[in-house]
Chain A
């Protein structure tokens, strides 16, 4: 399946959860709208439905989705905020930690690092 990055080593159900989050962020699913079922996801991603269900349950635990018995999974009111908040704290923190560690290994000083980040920001801004 080309939907995945082949070199993405994270579990598929995590990848599915993140993809659903992105769909919600992009506005493809509104609050209280029904999302894909585990079976639809299983077909789309060519995976076992139980694995797909695990991805959905991850989002239920994080209160991004809620279950309606016998009807399926729906987007919560606060889904968008929660996702943004999560990405800010989790994803960015993880990326920054990797950068800091790599910088330390290469003996790059804190100031130099900050300077590098600013340069990138400048470059991206020009585009």
Chain B
């Protein structure tokens, strides 16, 4: 069953900027989806439309079979965590937890308290005075403990140090196992969340570029390295995502992986090195405007 359905979803902002451009996607219940895209690809806009904060310009969007904009049902069953959360300055951290508990029907106060103490928060402190990373951590506690059927984290680890990030993702995973729900996490850094997520949704220029299980994504492309002519011969007719040159005639190419095991064997025999591509790198290649990346900018002025 799908929890979120977007069909030809577009969002144009006042002033003419198009954030989403005919995006179509369907997100299934109780899966963790990683939303990946470059800055300005439309990640936050998409998430805020799903949460009901922003209004779509055209197209169709449903969350729990209802249009999310201004929907009480969607608000009651979802939570949106980002680093812009402004809590009332009148309440102390612990009182904010109590308020969250009062509002969210599934809120797990025991878990919230546990995490609150683990991350050494002072109950009498104020959110406004926390550091950037501490704010993100506090928001994350609310996000996990709320146990909303739709939990949205938009760049949740901003400012967190490495250790806290790991703790956060582990806490999220453990609570997800105990209490399965639909979770969307957006991030610039796929490597941070690739083990945690089930599906990856890659958006580019306001559209769905790829949406598939992360295990398939990891085998989506393959890297080939070797003599330029041999490599070129080998990747002829394939979808090339990235190419790079080194030395006299060494070429490195990342192409779509639709080779058979036999073909790989032949390639190895021909002296080509075949390797997998790190998912994070693949994301960058897929969302690059050109196949050579930043090198293309300089290639015009390079000595021949």
Binding site for B on A (CB under 8 A): 9-13, 39, 42-43, 45-51, 54, 97, 101, 105
Contacts and interface: CB of A to CB of B under 8 A. Distances in A.
A47 B196 contact: yes
Nearest to B265: A97
Contact of A46 (B195, B269, B275): B195
B219 A11 contact: yes
A48 B196 CA distance: 5
A12 B31 contact: no
B123 to A, nearest CB: 30
A42 B219 contact: no
Given A39-B177, A43-B177, A105-B271, A11 B218 contact: yes
Interface of B is mostly: mixed
A85 to B, nearest CB: 19
24 contacts: A9-B276, A9-B278, A11-B215, A11-B219, A12-B215, A13-B215, A39-B177, A43-B173, A43-B177, A45-B195, A46-B173, A46-B195, A47-B173, A47-B196, A48-B195, A48-B197, A48-B214, A49-B177, A50-B31, A50-B198, A50-B213, A51-B214, A54-B215, A97-B268
Interface of B: 31-32, 169-170, 173-174, 177, 195-198, 213-215, 218-219, 265, 268-269, 271, 275-276, 278
Given A47-B196, A50-B198, A51-B198, 4 more contacts: A11-B215, A46-B173, A97-B265, A101-B269
A95 to B, nearest CB: 13
B177 A51 contact: no
Nearest to B31: A50
A1 to B, nearest CB: 8
B191 to A, nearest CB: 11
Nearest to B273: A101
B21 to A, nearest CB: 30
